[in-house]
A and B are shown apart, each in its own frame.
Chain A
């Protein structure tokens, strides 16, 4: 347990972005080995490795690949590099440090599922990362890793890099496909699932950047090796994006199952300014808040879910004792209100309403019934929305009401934010 650089092991190497340097660290040997295997064997290997998607939902990657209907071509792979979850910056780190590793992962996944045209949908604001990937794609094409007859093995593959236009919803896989096709970024009705009817109506796999980065290592070292890392239901490592009131924010690649305490206290150097930990939020803006009492929970999908939150996309937002939880929730709710695509009623109207109520707390005009009203609005959104964005918009605020109801009450009785002063001090 603990820090375990797997994807990031060579990140200290100078010029790792360059193909030659990447190859020197063993780059593309995974892909070469994969090319010698039967695609089906690759799928089985990834299934056996227990790799679960790093984009948020934690779905077993090999299983997802095997859902593609037999004999239906063309098939597409779309690498999800939209990373727009507040608190998440791991995909960006992976892309800017080792774009070839991302590409190698895409090559392996594409070969495994029988795809000849892969896409990378990258967050529009990620300009340096886009440039890094573009350069890598060019180099790879010149070196024969991409194009017709890859490495002379009779396999064709090309990669198209597509920049998003700044919508969080386009990280959701069906909205991403819709956006990629040139339409408004909005999620689609499921079923049909992308595996059956995805991009341009063809069978499609969507995989996160970090997910595919695991593939070269799994192919090179085998399923058993990978399974031995992490927990029984969570093989491997994850990059945790630590931010907030912590001494050393940043990306940390941790073996799955490592206690959260180790991440925050040891590697993050603990809460800043010698303050006490009030709460932390794993997963990203969507996820439920956890308390110091949860510090010994393992960094792992299932363990965090059991504790009442979700590991999501690997964020770890640390909040010290001066944090106004009402304000934190307000900010997140406003984010969702801003990012709601507007397709379905509960999310479109509900997030707008919640945001209004939170503003009222902030402005000191909240009424006694507002807390329960927020909970009730949340109840009417969660599980009723068209896609998980709406559902998730309620998770953090409702968990905050659960654990910090008194802070809401104080906002009402004190006609404003009791933390305002301390927050201002903290900023100063």
Chain B
């Protein structure tokens, strides 16, 4: 009789039948039917180590309790997770974990969101039978300028060391000594160098690894948590803004397997102090050389007056950290209302942007055979979490070739002709070389060659998609004959006004030398921004705006994924930036009547159908032409 070959396995957990693919861990099979097995060392992104022994369960026909985090399911397996034996042992292992644990919960950052605390309540013994002095260890060890380690709280779950080995590949953290004396540390106590240390604090199931920035700042239950996107770079890692009393306490990761795979880089994570508001400033206008506080209405009237005079000679610069909704209105203000083509969001001139710059998605890097990092470390520095995706890909067998931006020939030579899928990663500055490499590789190999250009800022891609460029309209359509000048051409272009809109000090308008000479000569400089900068000194109007962390809207990451950002901090006295645009436009003769950001988003999608992607927070597919 023929047997039916199947890759599915059926087992029972606490009497409930569950069918899962072969190679599933008992832990995950149980989760599928809503049965939680307590864990400490197990982590979904790391190989099982089964060291904490918290997850032991009964498996029929096996004499010993089995670690659910490390044992794979088998056909007909009978798993029991709540037997007397299991419950008793769970109490036992928690009692073991606590005998040398300081239990300084009242002063521990983790208290309130601590798996050790939570599981002790849920599964642990009410009291300890341990009556000896606890083993003592160093309590505030500076692992780096970012992280402090409390060795007494460490339960040696190996998550941080495994992150260092399996996720970031840096092998910076190690276990030192043995037995009850085992500690976590770096080689020779040298400061940790990793650019991903903040992740250690999130995966640590106790308060052993803490961020200096967040130490003693808040209790978890006092935090307001807002899902958003990291303002750090064009990767678009998902974050949660944790604020207390309307002040940001920290950025935490929020898993998006397609983007960040649940990690953040330290640059992005620890960038939040840039978004702390210092004071409640009011709009200002320059009168007689001095800036004076005025109302929004007055400042807007002043601005309208100047823009009216400039007309088609007004230029607009919107930061690559603005939302798509802001950018849409900004573009329409300039192109439709003022009839000015002089729009930009860039700092330096780059070659044409086009949908071909994002035919490769971040997650697809794992499925390539070969990936060329054109520009090497420079690419990683521009979007640090990319390194983690690349390392993961490498572990899966993808060849990662790092070459200098000028080494196109070497990169071509490094890929064999029978390669089936190649990816190219480069920054905007090296786009020309990336295109060159792509053309050459396409000629050489039989498989596909795709590229992903790392853009600048959390919404640099959106700015391109929406046409915040002097020569392209929304959707990369050429502005035949109607192209304007770009930022680098502005000095000397005879412009009569410049409107700078800036939502993030990380991606602000930093004048070049030429611009510094030119700016004081511009008849009207409107600076609509979140944070004071040297540009204030030259501005005729300062319009306080919201920070990236203070508004709702959508942003598009380097690969074209449209994601929502949300107001994590409220600054109610600051007028919504889009509302300011609308008022200016209307005073200039338009008749916009948006009442919410959502309405703008809908309009955006109507005008640019590929942006339907926003509904799924998916990638915008521009018909995928290479």
**Which A residues fall within an 8 A CB radius of B?**
167, 184, 189, 337-346, 348-353, 356, 360, 369, 373, 376-377, 379-380, 383-386
Task: Point out the residue from A167, A344, A351, A369 that lies within 8 Å of B51, measured CB to CB.
Answer: A344
Q: Are A353 and B93 also in contact (CB < 8 A) when A167-B178, A338-B179, A339-B179 are?
A: no
Q: Which residues on B sit within 8 Å (CB–CB) of A167?
A: 178
| Min distance, Cβ B179 to any Cβ of chain A, angstroms | 4
In the assembled complex, 16 residue pairs joining A and B whose CB atoms fall closer than 8 Å, in A order, are: A167-B178, A189-B48, A337-B180, A340-B178, A341-B178, A342-B182, A343-B51, A345-B155, A348-B156, A349-B99, A351-B179, A352-B99, A356-B132, A380-B92, A380-B95, A384-B56
Once the chains bind, are B51 and A386 in contact (CB under 8 Å)? yes
- Looking across the interface, which residue of chain B has its beta carbon closest to that of A356? B132
Q: Which 9 pairs between the two chains have the least Cβ-Cβ distance?
A: A380-B92, A342-B182, A349-B96, A340-B179, A352-B180, A383-B64, A356-B132, A342-B179, A342-B178
Quick check: is B89 within 8 A (CB to CB) of the other chain?
Answer: yes
* Cross-chain contact of A373 among B63, B88, B129, B177 (Cβ < 8 A): B129
Among the interface residues B64, B89, B96, which one has the most CB atoms of the partner chain A within 10 A?
B96
Q: Name the one of A339, A342, A360 contacting B177, with C-beta atoms under 8 angstroms.
A: A342
How far, in angstroms, from A342 to B155 measured CA to CA in the complex? Answer: 11
- Please give, as numbers and ranges, the residues of chain A lying within 8 Å of B97 by CB-CB distance: 345, 349
Given A167-B178, A383-B64, A386-B51: A345 in contact with B132 (beta carbons within 8 A):
no
In the complex, what residue of chain A is closest to B72 when comparing beta carbons?
A191
Given contacts A349-B99, A350-B96, A384-B89, contact A189 B179 (CB under 8 A): no
Q: Does B70 contact A (CB under 8 A)?
A: yes
Contacts of B73 in A (CB 8 A): none
List, in ascending order, chain A residues with CB within 8 A of B70's CB: 189
Q: Across the interface, which residues of A come within 8 angstroms of B48, CB to CB?
A: 189
With contact pairs A189-B70, A353-B96, A353-B130 given, residues A345 and B52 touching in the complex (Cβ less than 8 Å): yes
Instruction: Give the Cβ gap from B257 to chain A, nearest Cβ, in Å.
Output: 25
B residues less than 8 Å from A380 (CB atoms): 88-89, 92-93, 95-96
Contact across chains for A342 and B175 when beta carbons are under 8 A apart: yes
Asked if residues B180 and A346 are in contact (CB atoms below 8 Å), the reply is no
In the bound complex, CA of A342 to CA of B180 (Å): 6
B162 to chain A, nearest CB (A): 13
Q: Using Cβ atoms and an 8 Å threshold, which residues of chain A touch B156?
A: 342-343, 345, 348
Which B residue sits closest to A169, measured CB to CB?
Answer: B178
A352 contacts B89, CB within 8 Å? no
Which residues does chain A contribute within 8 Å of B155, judged by CB atoms? 345
Contact A345 B180 (CB under 8 A): no
A376 to B88, CA, bound (A): 10
Contact with A along B155-183 (1 / 0, CB 8 A): 11000000000000000001101111110
Closest to B50 in A: A189
Interchain CB contact under 8 A, B96 and A346: yes
Q: In chain A, what residue has the closest Cβ to B94?
A: A345
Chain A residue with Cβ nearest B180: A352
Query: Chain A residues near B92 (CB, 8 Å)?
Result: 346, 376-377, 379-380, 384
B433 an interface residue at 8 Å Cβ cutoff? no
Q: How far is the CA of A311 from the CA of B95 in the complex (A)?
A: 33
Complex Cα–Cα for A189 and B175 (A):
17
Cβ of B135 within 8 Å of any chain A Cβ, yes or no, is: yes
Contacts of B52 in A (CB 8 A): 344-345
Instruction: Chain A residues near B96: list those with CB within 8 A.
Output: 345-346, 348-350, 353, 380
Contacts of B580 in A (CB 8 A): none
A316 vs B156: C-alpha distance when bound (angstroms): 36
Task: Please tell me if the beta carbons of A348 and B64 are within 8 angstroms of each other in the complex.
Answer: no
- The CA of A344 and the CA of B56, in the complex, are separated in Å by 12
- A349 CA / B134 CA spacing, docked (Å): 11
Q: Which of A345, A350, A377, A386 has the most CB of B within 10 A?
A: A345
Query: Contacts A337-B179, A342-B175, A383-B64 given; 14 further ones with Cβ under 8 A?
Result: A189-B70, A341-B178, A342-B182, A345-B52, A345-B96, A348-B96, A351-B179, A352-B100, A353-B130, A356-B132, A369-B129, A384-B89, A385-B53, A386-B51
Name the distance in Å between B75's Cβ and chain A's nearest Cβ: 17
Q: Does B49 sit within 8 A of A, measured CB to CB?
A: yes
The residue in chain B whose Cβ has the minimal distance to the Cβ of A359 is B132
Complex interface: chain A residues within 8 A of B88 (CB):
380
State how many angstroms separate the Cβ of A419 from the closest Cβ of chain B.
24
Contacts of A384 in B (CB 8 A): 53, 56, 64-65, 89, 92-93
Chain B residues near A346 (CB-CB < 8 A): 53, 92-93, 96
Closest residue of chain B to A355, judged by CB?
B180
Q: Residues of A contacting B132 with CB < 8 Å?
A: 353, 356, 360
CB distance from B119 to the nearest CB of A (A): 13
| Contacts A337-B180, A342-B180, A380-B92; A353 near B99 (Cβ below 8 A) | yes
Quick one: which of B359-382 are within 8 Å of A by CB? none
- How many angstroms between the C-alpha atoms of A385 and B66 in the bound complex? 10
* Chain B hits for A351, CB < 8 A: 179-180
Q: Are A189 and B89 in contact (CB under 8 A)?
A: no
The residue in chain A whose Cβ has the minimal distance to the Cβ of B157 is A345
Residues of chain B with a CB closer than 8 A to A352's CB: 99-100, 135, 179-180
| B50→A386 contact, CB < 8 A | yes
B residues near A338, Cβ cutoff 8 Å: 179
- Alpha-carbon separation in the docked complex, A339 to B500 (Å): 67
Chain B residues near A340 (CB, 8 Å)? 178-180
Which of chain A's residues have a CB closer than 8 A to the CB of B53?
344-346, 384-386
Q: Are B180 and A348 in contact (CB under 8 A)?
A: yes
Chain A hits for B54, CB < 8 A: 345
8 Å CB interface, B289-329 against A: none
Contact partners of A383 in chain B: CB under 8 A:
63-65
Nearest-CB residue, chain B, relative to A339: B179
Within residues 114 to 136 of chain B, which ones have a CB less than 8 A from any CB in chain A?
129-130, 132, 135
B179 in contact with A341 (CB, 8 Å): yes
Residues of B within 8 A of A385 (CB): 53
Residues in A whose Cβ lies below 8 Å from that of B65: 383-384
- Measured between beta carbons, the chain A residues less than 8 angstroms from B93 are 345-346, 380, 384
Highest count of chain A CB atoms <10 Å: which of B48, B155, B174, B182 = B182
- Cβ–Cβ < 8 Å partners of B49 in chain A: 189
A interface footprint on B97-113 (CB within 8 Å = 1, 0 otherwise): 10110000000000000
Nearest residue, chain B, Cβ from A338: B179
With A189-B70, A353-B130 as contacts: A342 and B89 at CB distance below 8 Å: no
User: A383: nearest residue on chain B (CB-CB)?
Assistant: B64
Residue of A nearest to B182 (CB): A342
**In this complex, which of B51, B97, B177 has the most chain A Cβ atoms within 10 angstroms of its Cβ?**
B51
Q: Is the CB of B99 within 8 A of A342?
A: no
Chain A residue at minimal CB-CB distance from B47: A189
CA–CA, A386 and B181, complex, Å: 18
Question: CA–CA, A350 to B97, complex, Å?
Answer: 9
Shortest distance between the CB of B538 and any CB in chain A (Å)? 60
Q: Say how far B62's CB is from chain A's closest CB, in angstroms.
A: 10
Find chain B residues with CB under 8 A from A342 CB.
156, 175, 177-182
Contacts of A343 in B (CB 8 A): 51, 156
B179 proximity list for chain A (CB < 8 A):
337-342, 348, 351-352
Q: Kindly report which residue of chain B lies nearest to residue A385, judged by CB atoms.
A: B53
Report the nearest A residue to B132, measured CB to CB.
A356
Chain A residue nearest to B98 (CB atoms) is A349
> Who on chain A is nearest to B156 by CB?
A342
Chain B residues, Cβ within 8 Å of A348:
96, 156, 179-180, 182
Residues of chain B lying within 8 A (CB to CB) of residue A379: 92
Per-position binary interface string of chain B over residues 55-72, scored 1 when its CB falls under 8 Å from any chain A CB and 0 otherwise? 010000001110000100
Nearest CB on B from A180, distance (A): 17
Mask for B341-352, Cβ within 8 A of A = 1, else 0?
000000000000
**Minimal beta-carbon separation of A377 from chain B (angstroms):** 8
Within B500-550, the residues touching A (CB, 8 Å) are: none
Please give, as numbers and ranges, the residues of chain A lying within 8 Å of B99 by CB-CB distance.
349, 352-353
**Residues from 178 to 222 in B contacting A, C-beta threshold 8 Å:** 178-182
> What B residues does A339 contact at CB under 8 A?
179
Nearest Cβ distance between residue A274 and chain B, in whole angstroms? 41
With the chains together, A189 CA to B130 CA distance in Å? 30
